[in-house]
Amino acid sequence: MSLAVGGRKGKQTCVYAGINSSAADIAKGVNEHLRAFGVDPSKPKATSNASKQQECKLTELSRSSLFSDPSDKECYQRLLRVSGPFGAAASSFAKVPQIAVFDATGPKPKSRGIIELPKDAEALDIIQTSENTFQVAYCHKYELFLAKFGDKNVSSEPQLIFTIPEDEPSRPAFKSLRFLSADFVLALGTLARNGGSVLQAFRLPSPGHEKARLAISARVPRKIVGTSLAAVNLAAPPVIGAALGDTQFVVAVGGKDSSICLFSLLHKAASKISLLYDFLELTTIKNVHHDDNISGLAFSNFVPPKSNIRQQYVRLASISLQSSVAVHSIPLKKFVDPAPRNKNAPPRTPRYIVTYKPKSAGQGLRALVLFTVSVLLLAIAGQWAMSH
């Protein structure tokens, strides 16, 4: 079953799930595979030990059929993602593989169109890029695609933006995808010949560049075979579509060995181009689900508080094949970039980063020092050559 959290209306949170209709209904040509539920918190109740326990009320709001052939008995909804008022659901084992996109602004999803595929999507994600536009990224084994949606319909045919070369050593196969921003997408790949897993961040196509380009990569600890991926921006822009500033992403990879490996990834906003750098391992949480495969990960959204009286955390939830759930709290700390943008600029706005120290924290500094020394030596050599 696929699951995604939608928006809120008052105190009620909308949750979408992929649940097929009964076999009898499918035989009649009816398969309302996308269900919407409303989650309403109730007032905390005091328990016998004087603590208060929060309870929730779950109400089914609607059932929808988005795929084009509801009589396909083998088809089910395997993938589901929601971003703001938009959602995307991918089929599996369908006669004609599809991705259905929909408006998620109310209790009854409204179809925005269908993307027909040559084969099932291995993974997908969706991101809202403005009030009325969004992008969908999906992948097959070695191919990464991007589709852009405008106010009403798909504004362009899905575009093949990256293919992993056949001659690449231990050629990784795409396993999971997550948008970092409208400019970058992060992929988890499994390496051939039991080589483990790798994380790759791609810069999406832009004017002058029709294809995506590999921006940065990081190797997952060799013993961990990645099964799931999640990422969170600790300084997301307050307005949808606004440029991404300097920030830190926290990335989580769930493994077959019931472990979760955490990474940090930095984003630098430059005048003409944004950069990703210092993709570093933070820590590994072992035996999260008692040797059970981790099948899904999700971070909570982090909204920086107006004051920092209390310790701040970002939450990470994981689920396993045996339906167990675990939630971890990742501590954060306030951070102020020491270098001003320029001499006359005001001090930088404080932001939050994880308190964990990266295992190779000095790597970025060493690279910067080496680069500076190299430039200095070249300048000295050039000046010497001109004087002689």
> Three-state secondary structure along the chain?
CCEEEEEEECCEEEEEEECCCCHHHHHCCCCCCEEEEEEEECCCEECCCCCEECCEEEEEEEEECCCCCCCCCCCEEEEEEEECCEEEEEEECCCCCEEEEEECCCCCCEEEEEEECCCCCCEEEEEECCCCCEEEEEECCCEEEEEEECCCCECCCCEEEEECCCCCCCCCEEEEEEECCCCEEEEEEECCCCCCEEEEEEECCECCECCCEEEEEEECCCCCCEEEEEEEECCCCCCCCCCCCCEEEEEEEEECCCCEEEEEEEEEECCCCEEEEEEEEEEEECCCCCCCCEEEEEECCCCCCCCCCCCEEEEEEEEECCCCEEEEEEEEEEECCCCCCCCCCCCCCCEEEECCCCCCCCHHHHHHHHHHHHHHHHHHHHHHHHHC
Identify the pLDDT of residue 344: 73
pLDDT along the chain (388 residues), means of 10: 87 93 92 94 65 79 94 94 95 95 91 94 96 94 94 72 91 96 96 91 93 97 92 93 92 95 94 90 93 91 84 95 92 85 74 89 44 41 47
> What's the confidence (pLDDT) of residue 223?
85
Place of tokens 């005001």: 346
For residue 332, list its beta bridge partners. 312, 354
Query: Using a CB cutoff of 8 Å and minimum separation of 24, what contacts does 160-163 make?
Result: 161/202, 161/204, 161/205, 161/210, 161/211, 161/212, 162/202, 162/211, 162/212, 162/214
Which position has the token pair 């500033």? 245
> What pLDDT was estimated at residue 10?
85
**pLDDT tens by residue, 303-354:** 988 876 789 999 999 999 888 999 999 999 999 887 766 677 777 788 999 9
Give the pLDDT score at 350: 87
Residues 6+ apart with CB under 8 A from 261: 220, 221, 224, 252, 253, 255, 281, 283, 284, 285
Q: Which residue has the tokens 């595979």?
A: 33
Q: How many CB atoms lie within 10 A of CB 183?
A: 19
pLDDT digits (tens, 9 = 90+) for 135-152: 999 999 999 999 999 866
**What order of strands is seen across the sheet that includes strand 56-64?**
3-9, 12-18, 34-41, 56-64
Q: Report the pLDDT value the prediction gives residue 362, as an integer from 0 to 100.
A: 47
